[in-house]
Amino acid sequence: MTRLLGAPDVATPLPRAGHGLIDQIEKAGLLGRGGAAFPSATKWRAVAERSRGDAVVVVNGAEGEPQSHKDRLLMISRPHLVLDGAFLASRVLRARRVVLYVGERHDAARQAMLRALGQRTEPERATVTLAAAPARYVAGAETAAVHLITEGIATPTNVPPYPFERGVGGAPTLVQNVETLAHIANVARGIYDGTTLLTLAGGVARRGVVEVPIGTTVGGAVSASGGLRERPRAVLVGGYFGAWVEPEVAWRMPLDHRTRLGCGVIGIHPASRCPVCDVAAIMRFLAAESSAQCGPCFFGLQALAGACTRISEGGDHPTDMQRLQRWTVEVRGRGACRHPDGAVMFLSSALQVFAAEFANHGSHHNMSQIA
Amino acid sequence: MTNSLLWYATRGAGAVTEILLTCVVVLGILSTLRVQTARWPRFLTTGLHRNLALMTLVFLALHIVTAVVDPFTNLGWAAAFIPFASSYRTFWLGLGAISFELLLAIVATSLARGWLGHRAWRLIHWLTYAAWPVAIVHGVGTGTDTWSAWMLAITACCIAAVGVSLVWRLTTSSRDPLAAPRLDFRSAVDRREVR
């Protein structure tokens, strides 16, 4: 049941793997666990078609999502399994190089990966290099990872060319999240059982990472981590690029990639906190994390964050509410990367689920001022 | 009568093309300066730039077609497309053909910008700075009306307009409001030193 976190991490010989592994990955229906839920088999095929023994495998452990911890925990507890996935990819895709792209502040994860690497065979070790992902939200994006490894700057770049076409140093490149690679190692050994890692945050009894079968409901996942600490007002499914859901709906909602599980963060927003103030703070964070390469993203997110902040401070809000509705539509799909799209999806769902709180925030604000 | 009508059309379309092309160049320069006021939003500059450019091609086509089909000039189609192929005023018409082809390249690459990529498009767009003066010299050199007061006034205004906007462009630093925040973010995720 807990193939990733429940099993011991040992360096066992890799199973034989060729092109058939890609079919197995497809049959397992594996989707990327970094947040975008892109079908892994499609990605592998795109790199395999183009590789002439020069492909690059980037093991993406940047984990820039503020609430997420599952990638770090996985690298700390199952580094060999992650490396297994990376070396299988390297063999199947005929790669020349494997790059471990680990968050620069995730020291324990990096050390665990290096320790495990030291126990691998010399030919395996010789292909691996380490790159530190800057601790910024967009640094985990595929093109940002490629840009950092190639040129040393972790800004996202325009697509096409996609990394599978022209990635690290111009070579076809597979950028794959660490959890996805770990699952693929289990697929190759025939022991993948369809679980996913979740990070539970907010008003739960025990915050942290759990491994549950895909399709588990939010209610089931929360019970698996010891239940609730406080009465919930809403659930944020999928982190800051995810969507807010009413708790009654979320509780029965199976977590899979149709429900936009994203990077696997489940945030329980307790009824005791003001959602408008929290949404405004997160919008300010996302606006500050724009790499300022595209006008609609930089100015659009700043304008949205500004309007949210004015509402949270009890300012002129009927106009700002109309602006929010209009601007969320105008910003979507207008960046080189998905940063603005994720941010407005987060905000649109907040405006729906917290409609009452947004409409009456002035009085809440005045009350808290008096108190 | 028909022949002189064609000749008038050639001269008229030539003058209109000169004015339109000048407007397009000036608007192009203004758009790089990000000029805007409360009544003149930025998209108006770029929208006008694009639409007037297409209109320029229409008048340019009229200018060329009426000149070629005019039996009195007996130019032939080759003269319109191959520089210096015309026996009549070889040099001045050659300049016209060059300018025409540069403009075609500029418009075609602009229409295919999404496919071409920004960098290549921009590089080719710089050809405007060759196409415009060549067109002006062509007009002054071979124009029937060059030394008439009204045509002199038009040409002088065109040169002054491009001259003033060019000086403005060259003496103003980039007004890209994204430049500073972009640089800030870039340096925050720049790890070239570390490697």
- Whether A144 sits inside 8 A of B189 (CB atoms) is yes
Which pTM was predicted? Answer: 0.76
Confirm whether B147 is domain-assigned: yes
User: Does the CB of B38 have a partner CB in chain A at under 8 Å?
Assistant: no
Beta bridge partners of A61: A102
Chain A residues near residue B175 by CB distance under 8 angstroms: none
Domain range summary for chain A, segments of one domain joined by +: 20-188, 195-270, 275-370
Q: What is the pLDDT along chain A (371 residues), one digit of tens a residue?
A: 568 998 899 888 899 989 999 999 999 999 999 988 999 999 999 999 999 999 999 999 999 999 999 999 999 999 999 999 999 999 999 999 999 999 999 999 999 999 999 999 999 999 999 999 999 999 999 999 999 999 999 999 988 889 999 999 999 999 999 999 999 999 999 999 999 999 999 999 999 999 999 999 999 999 988 999 999 999 999 999 999 999 999 999 999 877 788 899 999 999 999 999 999 999 999 999 999 998 889 999 999 999 999 999 987 678 899 999 888 888 888 887 889 999 999 999 999 999 999 988 876 655 554 44
Residue A237 DSSP symbol: E
User: Of chain A residues 126-165, which have a CB less than 8 A from chain B?
Assistant: 132, 134, 136, 139, 144, 148, 151-155
The angle that helices A79-92 and A40-50 make with each other, rounded to 10 degrees, is 40
User: Which CATH fold would you assign to the domain A20-188?
Assistant: Rossmann fold (3.40.50)
CATH number of A195-270: 3.10.20.600
Structure tokens at A15: 């199973």
Query: Could B178 and A153 be called an inter-chain contact, meaning their C-beta atoms sit closer than 8 Å?
Result: no
How many A-B residue pairs are in contact by the CB < 8 A criterion?
Answer: 44
Surface-to-core class of residue A302, CB atoms within 10 Å of its CB (0-12 exposed, 13-18 middle, 19+ buried):
middle
**How many domains, in total, are found in chain B?**
1
What's the complex ipTM?
Answer: 0.87
Reduce the DSSP state of residue A198 to 3 states and report it.
strand
What is the enclosing helix (H) or strand (E) of A235?
strand A232-237
Domain A275-370 has what CATH class?
mainly alpha
Structure confidence by residue, pLDDT tens digits, B24-44: 999 999 988 888 888 888 888
| Integer Cα distance of B124 and A257 in angstroms | 45
Q: Is residue B113 part of a domain?
A: yes
Q: How far apart are the first and last CA of chain A?
A: 49
Q: State how far the Cα of B30 lies from the Cα of B178, in Å rounded to an integer.
A: 18
Q: Do B182 and A293 touch (CB under 8 A)?
A: yes
- For A332-342, the pLDDT digits (tens) are 888 878 899 99
Task: Please check whether residue A123 touches B, CB under 8 A.
Answer: no
Q: Which residues of A touch B188 (CB under 8 A)?
A: 134, 136
Length of chain B: 195
Residue B168, domain member (yes or no) = yes
* Full residue range of the structural domain in which residue B138 is found: 2-188
How many residues comprise chain A? 371
Q: Is B7 within the bounds of a domain?
A: yes
CATH number at residue B40: 1.20.120
